[in-house]
């Protein structure tokens, strides 16, 4: 079982801070900056931004998409990095996320290797949860293997091009729950203030029916209000920065904490 349990509640939204290190030295520095920080409830380690030794890539021309994917044939470097991160942040829950290029991430990975990586990370017991892209071809297998290891799953979906209709957002969040996720997450890109309202309305609608926590956000400057006030409408966590951001519109964690505290006052 994981050493930390994932506990999210829209009535008291959690602040999740991304770790975007590309190597162990950066990982150590970023973790040290977060250790003991009272504004940080969880960290999200972006595994796809980490650069493992490219084992298995020797027969693939450098610089090709398949070469990048081959670098993840062996999950051992990622497991070792997770162990280092967990040692540096013993009291902080970790969400381990491999964001694929299809969802705006920093690396490619073969479908079977994606499941194997999630299994290996979950098997350590050091991650409170793993992220699974709900539209990934092997999403069902990834969710199953994480649960078999006793690790919670945050199902995710990202739309960097637009904001879908409210009914579509609700349908995606519902589909994640039906697929077995423990948390349903969606991030969308607004083109107008009306798009932000769409995301908020969809969140509130799904929150009333959902049996699992939701994490929703409207990205970019237009959507910043959803990163502060999302809990009012049912979003149980927000992503904020201590250093590097991992998505458009993330705000400094210290300011987000102050805003959440203010909003939470009776």
pLDDT attached to residue 58: 35
> Tokens in use for 200?
């908020």
pLDDT attached to residue 68: 62
pTM of the model: 0.91
Q: What are phi and psi of 236, to 5 degrees?
A: -90, -5
CATH H superfamily, domain 14-263: Aldolase class I (3.20.20.70)
The answer to whether the beta carbons of residues 226 and 200 sit under 8 Å apart is yes
Q: Which of 4, 136, 147, 185 is catalytic?
A: 185
Annotated catalytic, 185?
yes
Domain ranges of the chain: 14-263
Q: What are the CA-CA distances from residue 108 to residues 30, 104, 115, 180, 252 (Å)?
A: 24, 10, 13, 25, 29
pLDDT attached to residue 121: 98
Q: Tell me: the pLDDT tens digits for 84-106?
A: 999 999 999 999 999 999 999 99
Q: What parts of the chain have a pLDDT lower than 70? A: 53-68, 243-249, 265-266
């Amino acid at each position: 079982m994981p050493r930390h349990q994932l506990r999210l509640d829209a009535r008291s939204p959690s602040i999740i801070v991304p770790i975007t290190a590309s190597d162990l030295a950066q990982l150590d520095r970023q973790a040290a900056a977060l250790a003991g920080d009272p504004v940080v409830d969880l960290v999200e380690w972006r595994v796809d931004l980490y650069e493992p030794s490219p084992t298995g890539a020797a027969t693939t021309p450098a610089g090709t998409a398949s070469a990048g994917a081959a670098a993840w044939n062996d999950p051992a470097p990622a497991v070792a990095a997770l162990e280092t991160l967990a040692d540096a942040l013993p009291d902080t829950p970790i969400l381990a996320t491999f964001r694929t290029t299809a969802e705006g991430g920093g690396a490619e990975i073969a479908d079977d290797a994606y499941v194997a990586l999630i299994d290996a990370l979950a098997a350590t017991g050091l991650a409170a949860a793993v992220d699974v892209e709900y539209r990934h071809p092997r999403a069902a297998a990834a969710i199953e293997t994480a649960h078999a290891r006793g690790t919670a799953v945050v199902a995710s979906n990202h739309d960097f091009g637009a904001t879908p209709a409210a009914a579509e957002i609700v349908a995606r969040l519902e589909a994640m729950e039906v697929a077995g996720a423990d948390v349903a997450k969606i991030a969308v890109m607004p083109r107008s203030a009306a798009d932000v309202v769409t995301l908020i309305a969809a969140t509130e609608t799904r929150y009333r029916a959902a049996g699992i926590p939701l994490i929703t956000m409207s990205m970019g400057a237009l959507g910043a209000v959803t990163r502060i006030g999302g809990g009012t409408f049912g979003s149980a966590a927000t992503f904020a920065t201590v250093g590097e951001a991992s998505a458009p519109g993330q705000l400094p964690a210290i300011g987000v904490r102050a805003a959440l505290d203010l909003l939470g006052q009776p």
